[in-house]
Amino acid sequence: MKKITQEKFVHEFKKRLAEKYALDVKDAAPSELYQTLVSVVKSGYSDIWRNTWKDYVKNDEKQVYYFSIEFLPGRLLKSNLLNMGWYDIVEKGLKEMGLSLDKISEAEVDMALGNGGLGRLASCFMDSLASDGLPGNGNGIRYKYGLFKQKFVDGYQIELPNEWLTDGNNWAVARESKAVDVLMGGQVHLIDNGKYLEPIYEGADVIKAVPYDTGIVGYRNDHVNTMRLWDAQIPATEEVKYPTIEDRRRVEDLTSVLYPDDSNYEGRILRLKQEYFFTSAGIQSIVRHYKKYKKPLTKISDYVAIHINDTHPAMCVAEFMRILLDEKHLDWEVAWEQTVKTMSYTNHTIMAEALEKWPLEMLEKVQPRILQIIQEIDRRYALELAGKRDQDFIDRTRIIKDGMVKMAHLAIIGSHSVNGVAKLHTELLEDDVLHDFYELYPERFNNKTNGIAVRRWLQVANPELSKVIDQTIGTKWRFDTKKLKELEKYADDKKVLKKIGQAKRSNKVKLADFIKQETGIVVSPDAIFDIQIKRLHAYKRQLLNLLGIVKLYLDLKDDPKQKMIPRVFIFGAKAAPSYHYAKSIIKCINEVANLINNDPTIKDKLKVVFLENYGVSLAEKIIPAADVSEQISTATKEASGTSNMKLMLNGALTVATLDGANIEIKDHVGDDNIFIFGLTKDDVLQYEKDHSYHSADYYNNDPVLQRVLNAFVDGTIPNIEVEGHEIFDSLLRVNDEFFVLRDFEAYIHTKEKVAQTYADQLAWQKKCLINIANAGYFSADDTVAKYAAEIWDIKADQPTEGTLDDVYPL
């Protein structure tokens, strides 16, 4: 990394501000200061960026390309400064000029090109690939509109467009010279030209795919990778075909919007076109780049690994085959061997509605040649199994069935590795959801438990706690998060526990200020901050949390004088715009919040805050201030979860079902340092099999639950005539698909235990410390290192081993 001193930085910053805006520091607006700072930062890593990718070619290094339809990087400024080793110098330099890094950073618009966990994971992986010194690239779509901006009006979610590009995205570089043409639509037929089958396209649209590259800076290791996002444009040669603005929009709209739905499959052809577009553009550019290696295509899998993140990029398999067959004229068998060796696939969900299926007729419209290739892969798959497996097995596992293409099957059959994202999830894949394939290809299945970028979620988001850790165990944990384990030695050190408590308290004061400023609600930093932040989904059971809150409220109304530790319940969640039920839950949470926050008999004892527009930057504000982390999904439904990891890392204690990675969190911190309740995987599977669950029994037999549910329909909670009944009916008439009523009593009981535990602050802080100490196990650096070694077979630069004692004097 370019070396910098405070003096040099200040000089450079002033010079650029004057050149770009003809302004002095004191006259510049935050956005102008921000843009200036970005340009200084970019100039700091641009040489290294160029060297990094040139070295890959020079050293014949195998590279991985991580294909994901979503990336959710959030703000890049502080994270880049941290990784470059510039953070403290720049912060001090800005201060010298009377400026604040925190304030300037707020001027950056979140890059919100993802819905939630899936996109955030992809971005944590980008950060870790670079920080591990691994040759890894991202490949995705540069949406013009990111995930919608959420507002509440009368308690209802309103979606506003998120035009994040209005100020230009300062981190990305457009590379016209690396553009490729993507063919879509029209018809295709094959002619035998004597040497090979040649596809002849008729009436296809040619779309120009232009890459926007963002440098992904590794942590203090002089390594900068590339995240490549594609934009759709009209090629100059095709312009006459699109004479009107509407015509042009047909092409440009291809990369306009991120589908704001990460689980419900929506039968929209535009989504399928997006999938083919970024897949084809990415694969074409990979094969073109491979020429620089001067190796035969029959060896491409020795130099290239392609990762399919969920099924959206599953057409990678067919597109790679298309290029090897139609453009490079390899034989099918040779091409197929290279394809399977190159591809690997991660499954992210077992929710049936999220397993993508596309009608043949739609695929044919999007890319007829790709459909032909998928049909041929499917035909050969069935042929190979004929006689070896029964017809039922073949029918169940084929790619094409009843006129639909199953994308997961395409990805599995075309990959050498299939992984789940937590131990329980992988087990469910092997034993249940993908059991047939597990039987067929046991060697392909493996687990890679998700992880998080500890740099962003602790070093950047929580400087107070980071400092306490430095003072306690030194700074090596900043390079190797497993070193956090050394904190355990201080589990009975009252001074350390107190400091951890003080850091939390100071973060709670900050969040309380933010809540006041955003919502007008006054909350006490002495209350328990009980947090549930994640997409709004029935299976995540925000509703269970809400029922618990209503119970507390009704108890307080009965006995307003009862002694209790004050609680603040904080929610952050977006609902997919078409997900009616989730939006009704949002409305109900907001109405319960209004009722409680404005009830003078409740005073400070109970507050409910639903912060608008949950996203990465809001998460960075909330998580450091959390006391309690709500991870209460119905067992089997949350594949892994990652907010559970971020929260434990910041010293929150988890209230959890035995679902996803919660199980591994429990295994690491021990039963005494987590609050587990509710149905297990086996209980849920049993109920789903024998249909013996009757939610009404729980309502009829539990007067507490009865009273809580009645509050939704008898006017106790105002302004939810429609939504209250809808929720009431979903729980009682539709038999409560996610077992909310079944788990209610256990949940209430567990939450009482939480409050009792909190009363002994030192005991509480000890549990916090143990959670922080064991969170290193969930570092994405390790997760990615396992992908690298066990799936991609790629090698890292020499790892950096170091301390920051010079930068962070104790």
Ligand X SMILES: *Cc1c(COP(=O)(O)O)cnc(C)c1O
Q: Which is nearer to ligand X, 497 or 616 (CB)?
A: 616
Per the annotation, the verdict on 534 as an active-site residue is: yes
CB of 131 to ligand X, least distance (A): 18
CB of 638 to ligand X, least distance (A): 7
Q: Which is nearer to ligand X, 73 or 85 (CB)?
A: 73
Per the annotation, the verdict on 329 as an active-site residue is: no
Bridge partners (DSSP) listed for residue 533: 572
CB of 540 to ligand X, least distance (A): 7
Helix, strand and coil content of the chain, in percent to the nearest 5, comes to 55, 15, 30
How far is 797 from 158, CA to CA, in rounded Å? 47
- Asked if 124 and 179 count as a contact pair (C-beta separation under 8 A), the reply is no
Q: One of 312, 398, 535, 668 is an active-site residue; which one?
A: 535
Q: Which is nearer to ligand X, 211 or 641 (CB)?
A: 641
How far is 341 from 19, CA to CA, in rounded Å? 51
Per the annotation, the verdict on 15 as an active-site residue is: no
Q: One of 78, 646, 751, 766 is an active-site residue; which one?
A: 646
Q: Which structure tokens are listed for 713?
A: 């329909």
CB of 395 to ligand X, least distance (A): 35
- Give the footprint of ligand X on this chain (CB under 6 A): 116-117, 120, 534-535, 615-616, 619, 641-643, 646
CB of 548 to ligand X, least distance (A): 18
Cβ neighbours of residue 51 closer than 8 Å, sequence gap 6 or more = none
Q: What angle do CA 199, 201, 203 make, to 5 degrees?
A: 170
CB of 572 to ligand X, least distance (A): 8
Q: Which is nearer to ligand X, 114 or 199 (CB)?
A: 114
Q: Which is nearer to ligand X, 476 or 535 (CB)?
A: 535
Residue given tokens 């007829």 in the structure block: 368
Q: One of 144, 540, 751, 767 is an active-site residue; which one?
A: 540
Q: What does residue 492 show for φ and ψ, rounded to 5 degrees? A: -115, 15
760, with CB counted inside 10 A (0-12, 13-18, 19+), is: exposed
Q: One of 75, 534, 583, 637 is an active-site residue; which one?
A: 534
- Asked if 675 and 648 count as a contact pair (C-beta separation under 8 A), the reply is no
CB of 534 to ligand X, least distance (A): 3
Q: Which is nearer to ligand X, 279 or 662 (CB)?
A: 662
- Strands in 457-605 per DSSP E: 528-533, 567-572
Cβ neighbours of residue 783 closer than 8 Å, sequence gap 6 or more = 125, 128, 448, 449, 450, 451
Per the annotation, the verdict on 208 as an active-site residue is: no
How far is 572 from 618, CA to CA, in rounded Å? 8
Task: Reduce the secondary structure of 78-91 to three states and give it as a string.
Answer: HHHHHHHCCHHHHH
- Asked if 347 and 419 count as a contact pair (C-beta separation under 8 A), the reply is yes
Per the annotation, the verdict on 495 as an active-site residue is: no
Q: One of 642, 654, 657, 750 is an active-site residue; which one?
A: 642
Q: Which is nearer to ligand X, 135 or 678 (CB)?
A: 678
3-state secondary structure of 120: helix
Bridge partners (DSSP) listed for residue 181: 208
User: Both ends of the chain: CA-CA distance in Å?
Assistant: 24
**Would you please indicate which residues are annotated as catalytic (active-site) residues?**
348, 534-535, 540, 642, 646
